Homo-oligomer: A and B are copies of this chain.
Amino acid sequence: MSFHIAIDIGGTQLRAACYSSDKLSPTTLRRIFTKDPQSTPLERLINLIQSVWPENQTVSAIGLAAPGPVDIKRGVILKAPNIPGWENLPLCQLLEERFNTPAVIGNDANMAALGEWKYGAGRGHHDMLYMTISTGIGGGIIVDDRLLLGASGLAAEIGHVTIIPDGPLCGCGQRGHLEAIAAGPAIARWVEDRLSSGTASSLLNDQPVTAKAVSQAAKQGDELARQALETAGNFIGLAMTNFVHIFNPTAIVIGGGVSLSGGLILEPISKSLKKYVMNPQYLDNLVIYSAAFGDEAGLLGALTLARNFRPE
């Protein structure tokens, strides 16, 4: 029996799971807080890996999903948002030395794409686009059965494409990016702007507004909330259309908190795609799915990475 360990590194929690053979349910899964006054995040991560290690067994590879940009070739975390000190951290090398087993790393949105493609909603598709919409918009792209990484592993930043030149400020410092227009905070801000100019809504007594509250209000029939999701969905669909013209995929998988609004966001996306596509042929074999996994997509992507690891 072979074992692989998958790790999902977040600013809030660290998760580790051990999987045997080709199973999808872990033999062991543990999660702990990333930060603690008693120990550093790296010490905590090492102890966590130790705690899911199969007794008296070897582990073929450790796969890691990390937040922020990573140098996948050298196995270095370039900068992990929300983990102080994790800059240019040669994490794979440190773990390889400590555990004497190969360690491979990818960024968390890419790993979620890989997980959805290998085991989830995108299974069986050769060309797939994965988009996660929550506080930010990220994603991953499968081209001809391979994850699109780019020369330095910085590819697939699909939330950082300009939709409205000189539009709203994005977290990255640029303007008018999809993330600045259609991620959770932008949806909440859109509603707040209209509330402050007097539009009626059940959300009026619920300020500051959150994307989650907008989603709940929309489900209960609130018109302003419904319009907010429709507006975001329209822009997401416009961006999707560009990606469809560029990648000609057969599946689009949508995950992240905002996607939990279901049809209230997916229908506007789909409608917008139909409206903006240049040639209906692009839609002939294209399906749009909700992600099969929630939080665990990244873990399953890291597992895929570990299972695909071949020594050079």
Point out residues on A near B: beta carbons under 8 Å.
69, 78, 126-127, 141, 143-144, 146, 148-158, 160-165, 170, 172-174, 177, 238, 241-243, 245-250, 276, 278-279, 281-282, 284-285
Copies in the complex: 2
Q: Which residue of chain B is the closest to A175 with respect to CB atoms? A: B276
Decide: B238 and A165 in contact? CB cutoff 8 A: yes
CB within 8 Å for A279 and B172 given contacts A165-B164, A238-B162: yes
Cα A307 to Cα B66 in complex, Å, equals 41
Q: Which residue of chain B is the closest to A276 with respect to CB atoms? A: B174
Closest 7 CB pairs of A and B: A150-B248, A155-B248, A161-B242, A172-B278, A157-B245, A154-B248, A151-B250
- Pairs across A and B, CB under 8 Å, 11 listed: A69-B279, A78-B281, A148-B246, A150-B247, A150-B249, A152-B285, A154-B248, A158-B246, A162-B242, A165-B238, A172-B279
Cα A241 to Cα B173 in complex, Å, equals 14
Decide: A163 and B165 in contact? CB cutoff 8 A: yes
Q: Which of B152, B162, B173, B250 contacts A248 (CB 8 A)?
A: B152
Cα A250 to Cα B141 in complex, Å, equals 18
Decide: B242 and A173 in contact? CB cutoff 8 A: no
Cα A238 to Cα B160 in complex, Å, equals 12
Decide: A174 and B278 in contact? CB cutoff 8 A: yes
Q: Which of B148, B157, B172, B284 contacts A143 (CB 8 A)?
A: B148
